[in-house]
Amino acid sequence: MIHPYRAVLSFLPKLWTNWITLFGAVITSVSAVAILVALAIDFSSSGLNPYAASILFLAMPGLFAFGLSLIPLGLFIARRSRRRHPSASGEVDPLLAGLSGAMASPVARQRVLFLLLMTTLNIFIVAIATHRAIAFMETPRFCGNTCHSVMQPEFDAYQASPHSRVACVDCHVGGGAVSAIKAKTSGLRQLWGIASGTYHRPIETPVHNLRPARETCEQCHEPSRFLGSRLAFRVRYKEDEANTPQVTALMFPVGGRAPGTNKYEGIHWHVSSRFQVRYEVLDPKRQTVGRIQKLDAGKVVDEWLPPKGTATGASQGRTTGQIVEMRTMDCVDCHNRATHIYDPSPESAINRGFSEGLLDRKVPWLRRIGLAALAGSSPPRDSADHVFRKALEDGYMREYPSQLPSAEKLDAASHGLAMLYHRNIYPDMKIGWNQYPSNIGHGGPDPGNSKAQCFRCHSGDFHTVDGRELSSKCETCHEVIAKDELPEDLPDEIRPFLHL
Q: Looking at this protein, which amino acid is placed at residue 347? A: E
Ordered DSSP codes for 338-381: SSS---SSHHHHHHHHHHTTSS-TTSTTHHHHHHHHHHH----G
Question: Does pTM surpass 0.75?
Answer: no
pLDDT of 23:
80
pLDDT of 5:
46
pLDDT of 432:
92
pLDDT of 447:
45
At residue 395, the 3 state secondary structure works out as helix
Alpha-carbon span 19 to 390, nearest angstrom: 64
Nearest to 293 by CA among 335, 265, 261, 323: 323
pLDDT in tens, 124-182: 777 777 777 767 777 787 788 777 678 889 999 999 999 998 888 888 876 665 666 67
pLDDT of 298:
86
Ordered DSSP codes for 405-460: PPHHHHHHHHHHHHHHHHHH-BGGGTB-TTSS--SSSS-TT-TT-TTSGGGGT-SS
pLDDT of 18:
67
The separation between CA 323 and the C-alpha centre of its own chain, rounded to angstroms, equals 28
At residue 217, the 3 state secondary structure works out as helix
Beta bridge partners of 275: 296
The conformational region for residue 453 under phi > 0 = left, psi -120 to 50 = alpha, else beta, is left
At residue 163, the 3 state secondary structure works out as coil
Alpha-carbon span 77 to 19, nearest angstrom: 11
Alpha-carbon span 457 to 455, nearest angstrom: 5
Sign, CA torsion 84/89/91/93: negative
CB 101 within 8 A of CB 4: yes
Low-confidence ranges of the chain (pLDDT < 50): 1-2, 4-5, 7-9, 11, 311-320, 445, 447-450
Alpha-carbon span 114 to 118, nearest angstrom: 6
Burial-class residue 216 by CB neighbours within 10 Å (0-12, 13-18, 19+).
Answer: buried
pLDDT of 50:
53
pLDDT of 36:
75
Alpha-carbon span 48 to 128, nearest angstrom: 16
At residue 114, the 3 state secondary structure works out as helix
Phi, psi (deg, nearest 5) at residue 346: -60, -35
End-to-end CA distance of the chain: 93
pLDDT of 310:
60
pLDDT of 192:
79
Q: Which helix (DSSP H) or strand (DSSP E) does residue 278 occupy?
A: strand 275-281
Alpha-carbon span 391 to 143, nearest angstrom: 36
Q: How many CB atoms lie within 10 A of CB 456?
A: 21
Q: How many CB atoms lie within 10 A of CB 32?
A: 21
Q: How far is CA 458 from CA 330, 403, 453, in A?
A: 16, 47, 9
